[in-house]
Amino acid sequence: MLCNVGCVRTLSQFALVAYIPGPLAEFLDRLRLDLTPDSNPRAHVTVLPPRPVDTGADLGEMIERLSEESRAAMPIEVTLGEIDFFRATCVIYVGVVKGERELHALHENLNSGQLEYDGPYPYHPHVTIAQDMGPERVLELVRIAREQWAAYDGPRSFIVDSLSFVQNIAPGVWIDVAKLPMAVPAAVGH
């Protein structure tokens, strides 16, 4: 099993994420801490994975473009599925079973301009619950995660109705740079 632990992450990268709300986020954050106690969890699904940005890039311009695009995008209902892991990196995650197509479309739309990046892996919507552990621990942690996920009786769905543009400022530390609301669905008249 190949595990490139933390192989492509550097400081001052940017990403676009949708934070998960409520009891589902609380459960996922607790699970992440159970599996990797040194982590700094904030449950989210990534729309634009971490990427370097050219030092000459205009941050304000990037935020304005993302804001315009997100206001044009309809909210997405996301339902989480099963626990799995990426063999190349040993990242343990919860898969997306509903909303995956819409997240892919949003990713394709926003992965352009100053934020265009062809990362080392294809875009795969998911919620990370453990990373940065050696391959010798992965299968045991996957088993524990699957047991806890199976025992969880709370919500497994959430609505992505805003996005957060985030920056990596220290190892394992991300800050919110901008919150970007998505379109408000039109009310149906009677």
Q: What is the mean pLDDT of residues 145-162?
A: 98
49-103 pLDDT per residue, tens: 999 988 778 889 999 999 999 999 999 999 999 999 999 999 999 999 999 999 9
Which residues, 6+ apart, have CB-to-CB distance to 35 below 8 Å?
Answer: 92, 129, 130, 133, 141, 144, 145
Query: Which position has the higher pLDDT, 82 or 171?
Result: 82
10-57 pLDDT per residue, tens: 668 999 999 999 999 999 999 999 999 999 999 999 999 999 988 778
The per-residue pLDDT for 188 is 59
Quick one: what percent of the chain has pLDDT higher than 70? 91
For the chain, which residues make up each domain, given as ranges? 14-181
Residue 4 DSSP class: -
Residue 8 in this model has a pLDDT that exceeds 50: no
Q: What is the mean pLDDT of residues 165-169?
A: 94
CATH class as words, domain 14-181: alpha beta
Report the length, in residues, of the chain. 190
Taking the C-alpha atoms of residue 90 and residue 142, their distance in angstroms, rounded to an integer, is 10
Taking the C-alpha atoms of residue 144 and residue 81, their distance in angstroms, rounded to an integer, is 16
Rg of the chain in Å (alpha carbons): 17
Shortest CA distance to 33 belongs to which of 184, 172, 181?
Answer: 172
